[in-house]
Amino acid sequence: MKIVIILFLLPIIIGCANIQKSKNDITLNYSEYKKSLEISEVKSFLITGKISLFFKEKGLSGRIRWLSKDGNDTIEIYDPFNSIIAKISLTESPKNISFLPPSQSKETKNVIKNIFGSSGNIFILKKFLLSPPAELSHNKSVSINFDNWIIRFSGIHDSIPKTVEYTKGNISLKIFINDLKI
């Protein structure tokens, strides 16, 4: 009988335990982040990596390729089988987003449009991808609160963050950066 009670209570006790942030996690507000930045504007870059996106319960994963040149950006998202599922074109002046969707499911279109469909979202994404916080290191993660977004940087290699995660409400985007060429 004691074993049954212990087996019953054990999951409850474990479920109620607090998960503490690592001592190596740093949380910054936007003004702290902005003060520590070196001011340099990147005009052209190419980012390649893996991506995982979630909107509500729907999600997808695959590969991302983001090319920016002379104020024009092209974001290509591929599925795990290397087939293109979305191509997004952006211009900064005037701010404009267009989708050149190949054939894809309605659910996939909705997930991508909810994350990349707003110029506010996409330009925030770009801004933080190109300017990781100075506090980021191999063993320290940094979270920044900005405009209801939580942007979390993890790991660093050659001054490039290894992972950048964006979360806002029921939207989540995680980019695992393989390469950044400026």
pLDDT for 19 equals 41
User: What pLDDT score does 123 carry?
Assistant: 78
How confident is the model at residue 49, as a pLDDT?
95
Bond prior to 94 in cis (omega within 30° of 0): yes
Helix or strand or coil: residue 115? Answer: helix
pTM (predicted TM-score): 0.78
Query: Strand order in 96-99's β-sheet?
Result: 25-29, 141-146, 149-157, 160-168, 171-181, 45-55, 58-69, 72-78, 84-91, 96-99
CA 82-84-88 angle, to 5 degrees, is 140
Whole-number pLDDT of residue 42: 76
102: three-class secondary structure by DSSP: coil
Beta-sheet strands, E only, within 70-135: 72-78, 84-91, 96-99
Amino acid letter, residue 106: K
Contact yes or no for 42/157 (Cβ under 8 A):
no
pLDDT at residue 102 in the model: 58
Amino acid in the structure at residue 93: S
CATH class of 22-181: mainly beta
How many CA atoms lie within 13 Å of 33's alpha carbon, on the beta-carbon side? 20
pLDDT, averaged per 10 consecutive residues of the chain (182 residues), comes to: 52 46 75 76 88 84 92 88 86 72 66 73 83 85 91 88 91 92 86
Residue 23 has a pLDDT of: 60
pLDDT at 66: 93
What is the reported pLDDT for 1? 58
140 token code pair: 């320290």
pLDDT, one tens digit per residue, over 120-157 is 777 788 888 888 888 888 888 999 998 888 999 999 88
Is 29 within 8 Å of 49 (Cβ atoms)?
no
| Closest listed residue to residue 53, CA positions, set 74, 76, 77 | 77
Run of H or E residues at 62: strand 58-69
